[in-house]
Structure 1
Amino acid sequence: MLALLTLGAPDARAARPMITDDARVVDPKACQVESWARRNQDGTNEFWAQPACNFTGNLEVTVGGAVTRESGGSTRGSAQVLQGKTLFKPLDANGWGWGLALGTMRDPGAGGGRNWYGYVPASFSFLDDRFVLHANVGWQRDQGTRRNHVTWGLGSEAQLSERTFLIAETFGAADGKPHYQMGVRYWLVPERVQVDTTYGNRFGGGGDRWISVGLRLLSPAFLP
């Protein structure tokens, strides 16, 4: 599951809480922090933080990670994520865009080894951005099993009101049952402070159910 989460590591955006990424990056010379807590069906709790900055205008760099706590209170090894993302065609209202993301993730479940991944995010805007579709296709190298996987994601954002959005998505790897997630995001302060909550599971069950709550903070441009 930690490996699947790298599909949307950075709000890299189809912003939190989506795992399927979008063809957007943080504003030039600005930063954001996405943080969230996730409760899994097996009783484990994940606590994530992923700061990201756009230093050049078209390169979003994310450095973050997570701590996982078992149901008994013990702490499992932490996950670490490093990702870069750029756009070849920015997403415009009523248009489309695409880009490329490359990254690595330290997976404590793989003996401390690193998984490597890359994917192409594409987004399609409708109704002046009130409805946006996102599609990802990519590759992941699982260091624990030394296998390569094709990864994919398909998601949507629907604006319900000026500050409220409904998200729905499905994602997975070509050699396993896909997952799905549904949730709501709400702007406490437009374009600056956002909160969200989601419910997710694997199609057909299998003990992968989870819920999450998150907080996203975005800065104005301040970098030199």
Structure 2
Amino acid sequence: MVWHQFFVRVAALAIVAAACRPALAARPLITDDARIVDPKACQLESWMQFQSGGNELWALPGCNPTGNLELTLGGSLQRVDGGWDGTNVQFQAKTLLKPLETNGYGIALSGGVIHHPDAEPGKVLGNLYVNVPVSFSFADDRFVAHLNLGANRDTGNRQTRMTWGAGTETQLHPRVFLIAETFGENRGKPSFQAGFRFWVVQDRVQVDTTYGNVFGGGSGARFFTVGLRLLSPAFLP
């Protein structure tokens, strides 16, 4: 089976799995980290986002077929007029420039494309982005901080915006982490998000929940998320 067929099938399975739930960083962070899924393994990051503009269902399956190249292909559905409409399709490639070490730091490089087929039917390529995540480990990985700097290119109006993010993971228990972050662009108000991550099965099944908003955005911009992350053992050839 060729790789694009493999990822299309995984994406379809991911959406089904996420829909059965009552519900480019490890969930629930939007700020990316200097880590990738294990070599020859795959993961599924899925979540429901509840907001005033319409609820969204996201599913982003990804695999690391080479050992240092994580490929992700997925997207989102939005609840509109009692039905689900496709709103986003995303593809990303991510590699480690320096693996994150305990009590050390790591650097990664990611890039990809996000397309909004319903909102931008005339746009063939979609919007391009690139990001450099840097992560720092403290206290034997009990506290990890992430910094991001990148750019987003709108291919329709040919505008480029700088993107940034700063997030933290604090271990409260071997299975429970406190997540907090702020992120934004060089235009407009930044956003924030905070919540918890819980390992149901250590290093295999994770659930999470967060609350977020735009600084000064009021009730109209706030959002809640509930997520499920699944990680496989190595199985790819």
Length-normalised TM-score, structure 1: 0.90
2:166 maps to 1:154: yes
Flag the structure with larger Rg: 2
Q: Does the 8 A contact of 2:72 with 2:92 survive in 1?
A: yes
* C-alpha deviation, 1:144, in angstroms: 4.3
Q: Distance in 1 between matches of 2:43 and 2:83?
A: 30
Secondary structure of 1:20's counterpart equals coil
* C-alpha deviation, 1:74, in angstroms: 4.1
2:99 maps to 1:86: no
Match of 1:3 in 2: none
Aligned counterpart for 1:61 among listed residues 71, 74, 85: 71
Aligned counterpart for 2:205 among listed residues 189, 193, 200: 193
Percent identity, aligned pairs only, is 58
Q: Does the 8 A contact of 1:110 with 1:143 survive in 2?
A: no
Aligned counterpart for 1:45 among listed residues 55, 72, 85: 55
Q: Distance in 1 between matches of 2:211 and 2:69?
A: 31
Q: Distance in 1 between matches of 2:34 and 2:120?
A: 30
- Describe the superposition over 1:138-196 as per-residue Cα deviations: whole angstroms up to 9, x where unpaired: 01012343311000000000000010000000001101100000010100000000000
Paired AA for residue 95 in structure 1: G
Question: Measured at CA, do residues 34 and 112 of structure 1 come closer, stay the same or move farther in structure 2, by a change above 3 Å?
Answer: farther
**Structure 1 unaligned spans of 5+:** 1-11
Match of 1:168 in 2: 180
Question: Measured at CA, do residues 92 and 27 of structure 1 come closer, stay the same or move farther in structure 2, by a change above 3 Å?
Answer: same
Question: Measured at CA, do residues 25 and 170 of structure 1 come closer, stay the same or move farther in structure 2, by a change above 3 Å?
Answer: same
RMSD: 1.3
Q: Does the 8 A contact of 2:87 with 2:119 survive in 1?
A: no
Which runs of structure 1 show a deviation greater than 6 angstroms over 4 or more consecutive aligned residues? none
Length-normalised TM-score, structure 2: 0.85
Q: Distance in 1 between matches of 2:121 and 2:214?
A: 25
Paired AA for residue 27 in structure 1: D
Secondary structure of 2:235's counterpart equals coil
Count the aligned residue pairs.
210
Q: Distance in 1 between matches of 2:74 and 2:131?
A: 18
2:215 maps to 1:203: yes
Secondary structure of 2:119's counterpart equals helix
